[in-house]
Amino acid sequence: MTADKIEDVAKRRGFFFPSSEIYGGMSGFYDYGHLGTLMKRKFESVWKRHFLSLSDNFYEIETSDIMPESVFVASGHLQNFVDPMVKCSRCGNTERADHVLEDVLKESFEGLTAKELTGIIKKHGIKCEKCKGQLEDVGILNMMFPVVVGTVKEAKAYLRPETAQGAYVNFSRAWEHLRRQLPLGLAIIGKAYRNEISPRNVLVRMREFTQAELQIFFDPDTIAVHEDFEAVKDCKLRLFPIGSRKANNVEETTCGELAKKLPKFYVYHLAKIQEFYLDVLKLPRDKFRFKELSEEERAFYNKYHWDIQVQMNAGWTEIGGLHYRTDHDLSGHAKVSKKDMSVNIEGRKFVPHVLEISMGVDRNVFALLELGYRQEKERDVFELPRLLAPFDAAVFPLVNRDGMQEKAQEIKKTLEKAKFTVFYDDSGSIGRRYRRMDEVGVPLCITIDSETLGGGTVTLRDRDSMKQVHVAVSELAEQVDMFLHGARVEDVGEVVKKSKAE
Ligand code: GAP
């Protein structure tokens, strides 16, 4: 299944589509329809629930998308946030130089200098992929979008390339407002903007996208410990360290073992990220891994950097990362702004260090759509994580008479009161209604029939196994909740021997 196929399905069903499409669209910009918006908001709320609950001292904040140039002088983005660019001397097409090489030579060239990339292009005689023209020497392009604010002629501001800087410039204020305690976590879910040279793979590389990032400020003297480490020490992490690249092996290593090589504070958060994907979203274990980045591959601000990857059709793809940014950002801001960024804890004055959990929301949404898409003999289905499906459940009256529609509406309202998102459908055969819900990933269909009217049961049908069970109306909300949190459908009701409706 190609990314283009998923884009086509997503477009037809209302998940997402090119932005400003009636004017031909713009490469790297997408809008979400009603289903995509519901799914994206659910990802954000499940993300918040999981990561903000890691400590009582973690909070969500909201900060500006446009920030003054000084912010990016201090962070290093003005100087270092660059990509290598190569232009065709014949047709003028520009591409990211390392991606051109990756496509042709099938290996990674991330982190190489412009000079090194030019040398490899020349050595292999690589030509323009569009017109086979000669490629020029590789140049460097800063990826930030400049913005002219007010009447200032020269751009002195930029659209933020990461949400993280919003947390750093507000650190001192948050320290004063909150409990003056470390670790302190500041989470931001918001837009980031990058003038990518070659946007590609639909939502994987966009020019405007949403990030969910948590900046954890901590005392560097305590990096070797985490108060809850015991709880994760036997948890096996799926790792792809630098040493495994040749053998192309994913290793399963306990947190306890890994803590012999990496600080416990870092390892603990790897475990919590894996828990988010495998236990909360219930991604298949073999589709997930952490990839260790080498010094050349790491972002310029990171000391330790492991990417979160999932196995998509195009190969293992980064969907986030765990970044130990040291005091790079706070000390940078202290220097440029001349404001003290240090804290004073029991007479010890120091600049906190930062551990960053960073994820791209759109890239996650796209990966989950792609991983979940199946074309079966009789149906197309999105097997999305149950907690992220656009609707939790659909409610159908079996027939449109005898008061079944009214009963179905009543059950829908009751479920909505219990905070479930519910879709109502009474058109076409039950079988067709099931198919329509499968196509947009709704995990559960609830059918109201004559048994329901008598005060008895409804029929629940599981999207993935297509199994059906009877559940008492009085227990419905509780059983739906159990199912959405991972219970098997056979464990929430009495199995229906033979399906009439499928
Ligand atoms: N604050 C750290 C940071 O921004 P990053 O690795 O550059 O780190 C974090 O980005 C995540 O943001 C990536 O793992 C990816 O999920 C997402 N992301 C980055 N660039 C993106 C783009 N052009 N389009 C969509 N998502 C992107």
For residues 167-176, average pLDDT:
97
**Is the beta carbon of 360 within 6 A of some atom in ligand 1?**
yes
Q: In what order do the strands lie in the sheet with 494-495?
A: 422-424, 393-397, 444-448, 457-462, 468-472, 494-495
Nearest to 351 by CA among 225, 218, 224: 218
Work out whether strand 184-193 and strand 58-60 pair parallel, antiparallel, or are unpaired: parallel
Which atom of ligand 1 lies closest to the CA of 321? Answer: 14
DSSP string covering 266-323:
HHHHHHHHHHIIIIIS---GGGEEEEEPPTTTS-TT-SEEEEEEEEETTEEEEEEEEE
**Is the beta carbon of 358 within 6 A of some atom in ligand 1?**
yes
Measured in angstroms, how far is the CA atom of residue 309 from the centroid of ligand 1? 12
What residue segments make up the domains of the chain, in order of their start?
A: 3-63+160-371, 391-495
pLDDT in tens, 312-332: 998 999 999 999 999 999 999
Ligand 1 pocket test, pick from 204, 211, 291, 305 with the greatest ligand atom count within 8 Å of Cβ, gives 211
Measured in angstroms, how far is the CA atom of residue 258 from the centroid of ligand 1? 26
Measured in angstroms, how far is the CA atom of residue 123 from the centroid of ligand 1? 31
Ligand 1 pocket test, pick from 83, 99, 358 with the greatest ligand atom count within 8 Å of Cβ, gives 358
**Is the beta carbon of 83 within 6 A of some atom in ligand 1?**
no
Nearest to 13 by CA among 435, 489, 469: 435
**Is the beta carbon of 196 within 6 A of some atom in ligand 1?**
yes
Hey, which of 106-110, 167-171, 376-380 has the most confident mean pLDDT?
167-171
**C-alpha span between 403 and 408 (Å, rounded):** 9
For residues 126-147, average pLDDT:
94
DSSP string covering 125-171:
T---TTT-PPB---EEEE-PPEE--TT-SS--EEE-SSTHHHHHHTH
Pick the residue with more confidence: 456 or 330?
330
- Residue 441 exposure: Cα atoms within 13 Å on the Cβ side: 28
Percent of the chain predicted with pLDDT > 90: 90
Whether the per-residue pLDDT at 152 is higher than 80: the answer is no
pLDDT in tens, 179-230: 899 999 999 999 999 999 988 889 999 999 999 999 999 999 999 999 999 9
Q: For residue 1, name the pLDDT band (cuts at 50, 70, 90).
A: low
Nearest to 303 by CA among 355, 251, 358: 355
What's the chain's average pLDDT? 95
Pick the residue with more confidence: 339 or 200?
339
pLDDT at 2: 76
**Is the beta carbon of 166 within 6 A of some atom in ligand 1?**
no
CA 359: distance to chain centroid? 5
pLDDT at 131: 93
pLDDT at 179: 84
**Is the beta carbon of 81 within 6 A of some atom in ligand 1?**
no
Six token digits for residue 136: 């020029």
pLDDT at 4: 87
**C-alpha span between 218 and 187 (Å, rounded):** 14
**C-alpha span between 417 and 408 (Å, rounded):** 14
- CB distance 56 to 68 below 8 Å: no
Q: For residue 499, name the pLDDT band (cuts at 50, 70, 90).
A: low
pLDDT at 107: 86
pLDDT at 441: 97
**Is the beta carbon of 459 within 6 A of some atom in ligand 1?**
no
For residues 32-58, average pLDDT:
98
Name the residue with the closest Cα to ligand 1, atom 15.
360
Measured in angstroms, how far is the CA atom of residue 205 from the centroid of ligand 1? 8
Measured in angstroms, how far is the CA atom of residue 211 from the centroid of ligand 1? 7
**C-alpha span between 274 and 24 (Å, rounded):** 40
**Is the beta carbon of 362 within 6 A of some atom in ligand 1?**
yes
3-state class (DSSP) for residue 59: strand
**Which of 1-10, 313-322, 430-439 bottoms out in mean pLDDT, i.e. has the lowest?**
1-10
Q: Which CATH class is domain 391-495?
A: alpha beta
**Is the beta carbon of 194 within 6 A of some atom in ligand 1?**
yes
Tell the CATH superfamily of the 3-63+160-371 domain: Bira Bifunctional Protein; Domain 2 (3.30.930.10)
**Is the beta carbon of 319 within 6 A of some atom in ligand 1?**
yes
Burial class (CB in 10 A: 0-12, 13-18, 19+), 55: middle
Measured in angstroms, how far is the CA atom of residue 499 from the centroid of ligand 1? 45
Ligand 1 pocket test, pick from 162, 195, 204 with the greatest ligand atom count within 8 Å of Cβ, gives 162
Whether the per-residue pLDDT at 501 is higher than 70: the answer is no
Which atom of ligand 1 lies closest to the CA of 164? Answer: 1
For residues 293-304, average pLDDT:
92
Measured in angstroms, how far is the CA atom of residue 340 from the centroid of ligand 1? 29
**Is the beta carbon of 297 within 6 A of some atom in ligand 1?**
no
pLDDT at 502: 57
Measured in angstroms, how far is the CA atom of residue 339 from the centroid of ligand 1? 29
Q: For residue 155, name the pLDDT band (cuts at 50, 70, 90).
A: low
Number of residues that make up the chain: 502
Nearest to 271 by CA among 242, 240, 228: 228
Q: For residue 139, name the pLDDT band (cuts at 50, 70, 90).
A: very high
For 317, other C-beta atoms within 10 Å of its C-beta total 18
